[in-house]
């Protein structure tokens, strides 16, 4: 038989299972919000962020003479227990919730209060000795706690994503070096263009990631600005005049992060522009990496009837009916992760625009969208590097034969025989299947030694001085 304790809130009384460290408000939230079936504990960094905030607040309130030293000590000890990862299962509220995150904040308040009570020798629910709202939530509101927890979590997840991008970038750089001497045909609009090296192709992907790593790093500066001390709408009601600065300092010290108190707390409590910008950067990253995966699938297509320029490492049988078929499953799964991020950006955009007046109540779905996007990209990039890029091999002969047989070589002849003659050669090559090289020689447009020099693929992969042949 389960045993229960009786708790009450402004709505009424409820029985809460005695083994639960959360209380009545968390219980109501768990019943009210069955939306995603993903609890907030799915993001442990969010729970840790809440614990650090409550610890910093308790210490600041104690230093200001507002909270008894014994209560501050037991709140701190309770937060330390949460940071050990032992009580994540008590954070049962759905990530998608009404109330602007109040249920998340109250879940933290209740769990910390009951852990603190246990440490003080009392039973869970004996809030007259340590109260979730009066003591744990002192000088706070959901409206400064929740966005601050969001931002701390985002900083950690952005850092992790940048590390994953650096890891993937290094994989592309290694392949760029490995393939630097392999000549292939460049393509525009999926049609033959001019020669390049496979190394150049892969080096571009590394550069693209490097650019986006810088853009992502810039967003960290935006989310370092927090509104602790704002309380309900930014006016600081019920907070000590020195509290905002002090709690920001203590929180920065606990985390080892240089957090910055917002210059205008009223503005910071309602403005979600940083989330829009971060989401936009994540979309940019996702779009570019999805493009890279599309390239990999094209270059490896076939193997007999496609481009077949590169081989992706075989990771799984590709068909339940076609023997021997192997699909590019890693680029495919990364594509799908990127599509999710693009869709999540729309959710963030709509949610950020849906806040009215002094508060944006849609922050829970903003948080979930950003957290999940950061997580998906992080996991996708590590997977792409280790299970695909590192194992790619090149089909050098295939690449070189494409170059030899391509009419794209005629572009290099423009400065020497003119655009009209080059067009004529291209049309004839396309119609007859004869090589550009053989047609130019047959028509006497150029001497063999000059043609060999101009149409050498190695001479067409970088700028060179133009010397018109006689």
Quick check: 11 and 71 in contact, CB under 8 A? no
Strands (E), 183-278: 183-188, 191-197, 225-226, 260-261
- State the DSSP H helix or E strand holding residue 8, giving kind and residue range, or none if neither: strand 4-8
Would you state the structure tokens that stand for residue 37, as one six-digit string? Answer: 């079936």
Q: What is the CA radius of gyration of the chain?
A: 31
Q: In whole angstroms, give the CA distance from residue 402 to residue 407.
A: 10
Where in the sequence numbering do the catalytic residues fall? 319
DSSP 3-state assignment of 303? coil
Q: In whole angstroms, give the CA distance from residue 115 to residue 136.
A: 11
Where do we find the tokens 């979730």? 132
Q: In whole angstroms, give the CA distance from residue 163 to residue 332.
A: 22
With 0-12 / 13-18 / 19 or more C-beta atoms within 10 angstroms meaning exposed / middle / buried, residue 157 is buried
Q: In whole angstroms, give the CA distance from residue 55 to residue 88.
A: 17
Peptide bond into 303 cis (omega under 30): yes
């Amino acid at each position: 038989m389960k045993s229960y304790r009786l708790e009450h809130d402004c709505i009424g009384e409820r029985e809460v299972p005695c083994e639960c460290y959360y209380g009545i408000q968390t219980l109501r939230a768990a019943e009210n919000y069955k939306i995603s079936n993903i609890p907030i504990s799915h993001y442990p960094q969010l729970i840790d962020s809440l614990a650090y905030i409550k610890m910093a607040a308790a210490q600041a309130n104690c230093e200001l003479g507002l909270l008894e030293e014994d209560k501050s000590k037991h709140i701190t000890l309770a937060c330390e227990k949460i940071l050990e990862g032992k009580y994540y299962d008590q954070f049962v509220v759905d990530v998608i919730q009404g109330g602007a995150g109040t249920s998340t904040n109250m879940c933290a308040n209740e769990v910390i209060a009951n852990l603190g009570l246990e440490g003080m020798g009392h039973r869970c629910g004996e809030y007259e000795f340590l109260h979730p709202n009066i003591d744990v939530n002192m000088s706070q509101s959901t409206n400064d706690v929740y966005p601050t927890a969001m931002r701390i979590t985002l900083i950690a997840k952005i850092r992790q994503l940048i590390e994953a991008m650096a890891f993937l970038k290094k994989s592309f750089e290694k392949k760029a070096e490995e393939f630097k001497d392999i000549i292939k045909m460049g393509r525009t609009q999926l049609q033959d263009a001019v020669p390049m090296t496979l190394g150049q192709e892969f080096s571009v992907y590394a550069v693209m990631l490097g650019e986006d790593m810088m853009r992502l790093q810039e967003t960290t500066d935006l989310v370092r600005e927090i509104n602790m001390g704002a309380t309900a709408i930014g006016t600081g009601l019920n907070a000590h005049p020195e509290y905002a600065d002090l709690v920001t300092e203590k929180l920065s010290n606990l985390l080892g992060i240089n957090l910055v108190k917002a210059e205008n707390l009223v503005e910071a409590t309602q403005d979600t522009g940083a989330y829009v910008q971060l989401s936009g950067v994540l979309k940019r990253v996702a779009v570019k990496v999805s493009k890279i995966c599309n390239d990999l699938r094209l270059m490896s297509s076939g193997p007999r009837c496609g481009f077949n320029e590169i081989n992706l490492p075989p990771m799984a049988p590709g068909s339940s009916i076609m023997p021997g078929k192997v699909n590019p499953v890693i680029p495919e799964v990364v594509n799908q992760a990127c599509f999710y991020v693009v869709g999540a950006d729309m959710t963030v955009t709509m949610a950020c625009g849906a806040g009215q007046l002094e508060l944006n109540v849609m922050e829970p779905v903003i948080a979930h969208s950003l957290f999940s996007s950061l997580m998906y990209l992080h996991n996708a990039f590590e997977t792409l590097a280790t299970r695909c890029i590192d194992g790619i091999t090149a089909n050098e002969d295939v690449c070189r034969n494409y170059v030899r047989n391509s009419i794209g070589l005629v572009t290099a002849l423009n400065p020497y025989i003119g655009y009209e003659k080059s067009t004529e050669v291209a049309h004839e090559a396309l119609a007859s299947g004869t090589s550009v090289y053989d047609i130019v020689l047959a028509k006497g447009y150029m001497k063999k030694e000059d043609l060999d020099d101009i149409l050498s693929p190695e001479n067409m992969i970088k700028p060179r001085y133009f010397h018109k042949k006689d």
